[in-house]
């Protein structure tokens, strides 16, 4: 194992982890999960997992938050949803008894990158939905009639609090979520696994127990413009679980923050970061972690670039 006390930290890039799913596929961009652990792909720490980094240098990586975190608190993905994602719900921290040891609740958010002709986002319940009516709809195969939904556009931002019934269809999205892999399926649209010829298991009772029946329709959020020059900087999400800022432009700008970790995801274009006299190239699809010890960096676009800057929880 590489000893971090002998190597100054720098902007860290990670190998993507591609996973096939019945509904399409997903790419895990940054994951501190035992089953799919992200590994550094650049520089002297190449091959080191995010878990190893946190074990050896938690304060250098996470800054002030290190004392209360056992692992990196977020899981970042691209989802390519070709068929309907199962109708599902993620529990909040209040339902610890339903979650495997070590997992938390799961609030998440999406940024829509591409949409197909049948694109649909289901998020929240229509008025009048209850545990009884939802259970009946599951039995009758009419769950979609109970869900609020809308046709998304590229660039839309959707925030999904834990307890929200949701699904996706015919879209490519970036997903940021709490570092949890707990999902309870209510309904799976009649999809059959091509290998087994059988449907995937559902967890109706667990899902119904976790549903927030007060959560009505969820639509796209309205970005808050923070800056228009020299680049457009939009605050997309600011919650107790993560913050997301979108930065778009052709001119140099600053990313990262002193003594706080930040993650960058390049949505389009390419460029490089400058840190400690070195440059770190990136292009569309790349993910870079700026450890707290790295702090702010200068970003130099090579033409028009669009980045997401993701902040872990601050407290």
Q: Could you tell me if 85 and 232 lie in one domain?
A: no
State the burial class of residue 101 (Cβ atoms within 10 Å of its Cβ: 0-12, 13-18, 19+): exposed
Q: Could you tell me if 118 and 64 lie in one domain?
A: yes
Q: Evaluate whether residue 218 is within a structural domain.
A: no
Q: Could you tell me if 135 and 39 lie in one domain?
A: yes
In 3D space, the residue among 59, 40, 115, 50 whose CA is nearest the CA of residue 82 turns out to be 115
Q: Evaluate whether residue 163 is within a structural domain.
A: yes
Q: Evaluate whether residue 219 is within a structural domain.
A: no
Q: Evaluate whether residue 267 is within a structural domain.
A: yes
What is the CATH number for 250?
A: 2.60.120.10
pLDDT confidence band for 65 (50 / 70 / 90): confident
Pick the residue with more confidence: 69 or 286?
286
Domain extent at residue 164: 4-210
pTM for this prediction: 0.95
Q: Could you tell me if 192 and 239 lie in one domain?
A: no
Number of domains in the chain: 2
pLDDT digits (tens, 9 = 90+) for 220-264: 999 999 999 999 999 999 999 999 999 999 999 999 999 999 999
- Yes or no: say if 208 and 140 are a contact pair by the CB < 8 Å rule: no
Q: Evaluate whether residue 237 is within a structural domain.
A: yes
Q: Could you tell me if 194 and 54 lie in one domain?
A: yes
Q: Evaluate whether residue 216 is within a structural domain.
A: no
Q: What percent of the chain has pLDDT over 90?
A: 86
Q: Could you tell me if 135 and 23 lie in one domain?
A: yes
| Residue entry with tokens 């995010």 | 50
Taking the chain, what is the end-to-end CA distance rounded to the nearest angstrom? 31
Q: Evaluate whether residue 68 is within a structural domain.
A: yes
Q: Could you tell me if 181 and 33 lie in one domain?
A: yes
Q: Could you tell me if 183 and 230 lie in one domain?
A: no
Q: Evaluate whether residue 52 is within a structural domain.
A: yes
């Amino acid at each position: 194992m590489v000893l971090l006390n002998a190597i100054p930290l720098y902007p860290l890039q990670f190998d993507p982890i591609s996973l096939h799913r019945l509904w399409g596929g997903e790419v895990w961009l940054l994951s501190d999960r035992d089953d799919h652990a992200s590994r550094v792909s650049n520089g002297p720490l190449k091959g080191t997992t995010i878990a190893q980094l946190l074990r050896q240098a938690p304060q250098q990586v996470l800054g002030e938050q290190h004392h209360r975190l056992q692992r990196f608190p977020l899981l970042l993905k691209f989802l390519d949803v070709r068929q309907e994602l199962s109708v599902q719900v993620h529990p909040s921290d209040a339902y610890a008894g339903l979650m495997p040891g070590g997992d938390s609740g799961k609030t998440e958010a999406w940024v829509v990158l591409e949409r197909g002709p049948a694109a649909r986002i289901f998020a929240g319940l229509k008025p009048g939905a209850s545990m009884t009516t939802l259970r009946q709809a599951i039995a009758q195969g009419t769950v979609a009639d109970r869900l609020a939904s809308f046709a998304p556009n590229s660039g839309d931002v959707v925030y999904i609090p834990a307890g929200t019934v949701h699904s996706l269809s015919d879209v490519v999205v970036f997903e940021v979520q709490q570092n949890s892999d707990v999902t309870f399926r209510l309904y799976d649209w009649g999809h059959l696994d091509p290998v087994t010829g059988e449907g995937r298991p559902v967890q109706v009772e667990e899902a119904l127990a976790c549903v927030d029946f007060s959560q009505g329709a969820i639509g796209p959020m309205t970005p808050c413009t923070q800056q228009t020059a020299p680049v457009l900087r939009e605050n997309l999400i600011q919650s107790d679980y993560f913050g997301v800022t979108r930065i778009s432009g052709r001119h140099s700008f600053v990313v990262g923050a002193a003594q706080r970790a930040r993650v960058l995801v390049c949505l389009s274009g390419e460029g490089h970061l400058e840190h400690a006299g070195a440059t770190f190239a990136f292009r569309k699809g790349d993910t870079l972690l700026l450890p707290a010890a790295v702090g702010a960096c200068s970003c130099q676009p090579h033409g028009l670039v669009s980045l997401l800057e993701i902040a872990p929880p601050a407290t």
